[in-house]
Amino acid sequence: MRHGGRFALGLALGILTVTAAEAAPSLAGKARLEPVAFADLAGWDGDDHAAAFAAFLRTCKALAEEKAPLRPAREPEAPLVAVCRRALAAGPLSGAEARRFFETHFRPAAVVPLSGEGFLTGYYEPEFSGSRVPDGTYRVPLLARPDDLVTVAQGETLPGLDPGFQAARRTGRGYEPYPDRAAIEDGALGDRARPVVFLREPGEAFIIHVQGSARIRLPDGSVLRVAYAGRNGHPYTSIGRLLVQRGEMDLETMTLEKLLGWLRENPEKARSLMRENRSYIFFREADELSPEDGPVGGAGVPLTPGRSLAVDRSLWSYGLPVWLDGRMPVALDRTEPLQRLMIAQDTGSAIVGPARGDFFVGSGEEAGTRAGLLRHPVRFVVFQPVPSP
């Protein structure tokens, strides 16, 4: 939304800077947890607990089956897995039953950053037109994962590779950094650059790289789903932030439509700008998804609009319920209360820090508009599983 999962659309538009130190797999020096009561969660009584529980069950199935996530993540703690097994045994629950389940098996704790405050952005699944074969209209490829790409697991290092790299290229001499965006676009992968599908514009491909998934409507009317399959490991740079810094756009009025319009109207400048983001994403055809499914998140399960949250995978386990309390934008100048239980099901290289999240809005143009508006402070409350007696 997610590079390395999802990159927040708010980050694509440019609003946040994080440091490498924030990615350490510990809350020490970053935040403290303050226990709170369910009665103190504003809006808890009115939430759709059944919807949150249904999303929770999806991740629980993967955790209980010990299914490996798509992207390296913090190992789920035994108490969370135990609660998941009880949830699976209970099956689908009504709203009242789901509420009792959460209140019985979890204890809320507010995440209080030692500096700054909680921050939430939004991401979505784009939908664009495309073709399986190139022609005069569709000429910009989304590439499949190359066979020489090695993903570096969280906390792992490879011989001869800088610890900051999250992927590498396997060669006869060992490992080396993978080519960056500019080199890949210039043909550095050779025959390993296998297209999955072709799009009309480089800006559309870039947005899909930012989001990590897409629906591609083909000329015959069918829809091809693409999902994240890997990244080249180079750091992400927000082109939206660069445009704001250079005076090309104003942050307060920047939207996805304006960003795509600028990229379309300034092709040469856009090409150079996008290459400043050295990160590059590879894709696969997600033919296992049904039309009603959301895209596949980092936990390996389809995302649920309005319930799936991308988190810092080095700090929080997939499947962890997280209560959000803040504001949700419905227009540039209008917001509504956001008080909702989310489930950690995804991640992203830019989603870094203990009180940092990316809210999955949904699929299509309208979802993209709303996702682009979401870059707001929010209170994070994690639900800590109660150990079995």
Residue 335 exposed, middle or buried by CB count within 10 Å (0-12, 13-18, 19+): middle
- Domains, the chain, in order of start with CATH, read 9-18+33-385 (2.40.40.10)
| pLDDT digits (tens), the chain, 389 positions | 444 333 344 444 433 323 223 333 478 889 999 999 999 999 999 999 999 999 999 999 888 777 666 665 667 788 999 999 999 999 899 999 999 999 999 999 999 999 889 999 999 999 999 999 999 999 999 999 999 999 877 667 777 777 777 788 988 888 889 999 999 999 999 999 999 999 999 999 999 999 899 999 999 999 999 999 999 989 889 998 999 999 998 877 777 888 999 999 999 999 999 999 999 999 999 999 999 999 999 888 999 999 999 999 889 999 999 999 999 988 878 899 999 999 999 988 778 899 999 999 999 989 988 898 898 999 999 999 998 76
* The pLDDT of residue 252: 77
Prediction pTM value: 0.82
How many CB atoms within 10 Å of residue 152? 18
